[in-house]
Amino acid sequence: MGTHSSPGRPGNRYEGMTPGVRRFPNVEVKRRAQHSVLRSWGQLPAWARAEAPHPGPARLCHGDFHLGQLVRHPAATGDWLLIDVDDLGLGDPAWDLARPAAWYAAGLLDPEDWARFLAAYREAGGPAVPPDGDPWPQLDVPARALTVQTAALALAKCARERRAPDEAELVMIESCTRIAALPPEFP
């Protein structure tokens, strides 16, 4: 998603672009959506597609992190706890933040919620991003990859269920369309 300036949203550089997909009124629109997802996938670096070794060191990762994995105990005043560690393993901790970063970049996660989440993550010493400054150099590839995966799964689910994408699915497909329109920036 390119060069980012904090605290701006990475999607800001795409404002004014016409979304590529609204609904699937015909086969051609569906084909273009599929093409955008495949092109976005192809623009990811080889290591993000598991076609080459990851260039960085492996650290402890949750493996299935999303905002539903955070609970507060006791509910009103307690610490935030990370639950469901079934997929715990070694890897790049930035991938644990891929889903909320992708949702934020696509516009599904409110900027204030993203800022609060990121500040709390940093305050707790989360290893995926530096303690201050722009988090996108670490989060860009994982967020793009999660966007592509989510859009691909949405297209498959819509085909299986013979339906048009719902609003959240459309947002991720349209995000892929914008990603596919960008020049590749990765080696």
The pTM score is 0.78
Name the more confident of 182 and 65.
182
Average pLDDT, the chain: 82
Distances in whole angstroms, Cα of residue 95 to Cα of each of 26, 32, 48, 129: 35, 28, 10, 11
CA distance 41 to 179: 9
Q: How is residue 48 written in tokens?
A: 């993000």
pLDDT classification of 164: cutoffs 50, 70, 90: confident
* The predicted structure's pLDDT at residue 25: 54
3-class DSSP assignment, residue 86 = coil
Q: How is residue 105 written in tokens?
A: 């970049």
Q: Is residue 40's pLDDT more than 60?
A: yes
Kindly tell me the burial class for residue 1, based on how many C-beta atoms sit within 10 Å of its own C-beta (0-12, 13-18, 19 or more). buried
Which of 122, 68, 55 lies closest to 99 in space, CA to CA? 68
pLDDT classification of 186: cutoffs 50, 70, 90: low
Q: Is 76 within 8 Å of 49 (Cβ atoms)?
A: no
